[in-house]
Chains A and B, each alone.
Chain A
Amino acid sequence: MHDIVNAATNFIQLDAINMTYLFLVGFVGGLVSGFIGSGGAFVLTPGMMSLGVPGLVAVASNMCHKFPKALVGSLKRAKYGQVDVKMGIVLGISAEAGVLYGAHIQESIKKAFGDAGSNLYVSVAFVVILAVVGGFVLKDAWKTYKSGTTNDEEKVTRLAKWVQSVNIPGTMVYFKCLNARISILFTIPLGFATGMLAATIAVGGFIGVPAMIYVLGAPSLMASATELVIAFVMGLGGSFKYAMHGLVDIRLAMIILGGSLFGIQLGAMGTTYVKPFVIKVVMGVIMVIVLFSRGLMVPVYLAQLGLIGKLGETTVKALKSTSFAIMIFALAMGAFIVLRSMWQGRRAEREAIAKGVLEHGKV
Chain B
Amino acid sequence: MASSRTKKKPYGPMILMGGISAVIYAALLMNQEAVNDYMARGGIYAFIPIVIAFLVSFVHGSFTGNFWTVLGIEASKKKTEVK
Residues of A within 8 A of B (CB): 5, 8-9, 11, 14, 64-65, 67-69, 71-72, 75-76, 79-82, 153-154, 219, 221-222, 236, 239-240, 243-251, 253-254, 257-258, 261-262, 265-266, 268-269, 271-273, 276, 345-346, 349, 353, 362-363
B57 with A72: CB separation less than 8 A: yes
Number of chain B residues whose Cβ lies closer than 8 Å to a Cβ of chain A: 38
A248-B39, A251-B32 known; A239+B75 contact, CB < 8 A: no
Q: Give which listed residue, A153, A258, A268, contacts B25 with CB less than 8 A.
A: A258
* Cβ 8 A contact of A11, one of B39, B47, B64: B39
Indicate if the CB atoms of B42 and A250 lie closer than 8 Å.
no
CA distance A240 to B42 in the complex (A): 9
Complex alpha-carbon distance, A253 and B39, angstroms: 12
The listed residue (A9, A68, A247, A272) touching B80 by CB distance below 8 A is A272
Flag whether B6 is at the interface (Cβ < 8 A).
no
Given contacts A154-B83, A219-B82, A345-B76, contact A245 B42 (CB under 8 A): yes
Which residue of chain B has the shortest Cβ distance to A257 in the bound complex?
Answer: B56
Q: Which residues of A contact B41 (CB under 8 A)?
A: 246
In the complex, 23 of the A-B residue pairs with CB atoms within 8 angstroms, ordered by the A residue number, are A71-B54, A72-B64, A81-B82, A82-B80, A82-B82, A221-B82, A243-B45, A243-B49, A244-B46, A245-B42, A246-B40, A246-B41, A250-B28, A250-B48, A254-B25, A261-B60, A269-B75, A269-B76, A271-B80, A272-B76, A346-B76, A349-B77, A349-B78
**Digit string of B28-46 for contact with A (CB within 8 Å is 1, else 0)?**
1100100110011111011
